[in-house]
A and B are shown apart, each in its own frame.
Chain A
């Protein structure tokens, strides 16, 4: 079972920042947090990952709390095409990804 918890759904206005929270209170010291998204039934798309420092790439920013028990994915200027299910995954085995239910983000015009 997935060890992260996320809200089941969120809404965001187009052009505004979308902030998606994730709790991973059982994360161990050398586990990363990965974020993926899935649009309709397409394959999961990798977004970003981090260990303990905040990370930024062309898609998003990842803010990890100092105790590493939670994180926030930030889409700085959400568009309609960002409507998707977003998964926060704490990789437990170094091999498989264990997907939970994720957060359904709906970006509204």
Chain B
């Protein structure tokens, strides 16, 4: 069964450094998402992306964050200058098409640890 894959599984970065999290969505999916989950807390929406542009973002997704689909298969989340509070699990999701009848499918996440 097709799945969303994320790399790396664990990323350790010094505070203030840039980090790029990578995702390969399911191949025929058109809508892409990033969520995060701070340890012990709820899964939170960050951003959705369609047709090479952001379609929705949360208040968490500030100017330090950016997303890109550089090559038609990968979908990346960049944090420009990481802070301690960015430590979390980051989940990528994809969806075949818009519409409430199509579920989002999630990857297994990247654990980001900021030192």
* Residues in chain A within 8 A of chain B (CB atoms): 2, 30-32, 34, 36, 38, 41-46, 49, 51, 87, 91, 93-101
Contacts and interface: CB of A to CB of B under 8 A. Distances in A.
Interface residues of B, number: 27
Interface SS, A side: loop
A94 B100 CA distance: 6
Contacts, number: 59
Contacts of A98: 45
B100 A96 contact: no
B105 A41 contact: no
A94 B43 contact: no
Contacts of B55: 95
B100 A91 contact: yes
A46 B104 contact: yes
A94 B89 contact: no
Given A49-B103, A96-B58, A44 B45 contact: no
Given A41-B37, A95-B56, A97-B45, A32 B101 contact: yes
Nearest to A101: B42
B37 A100 contact: no
B107 interface: yes
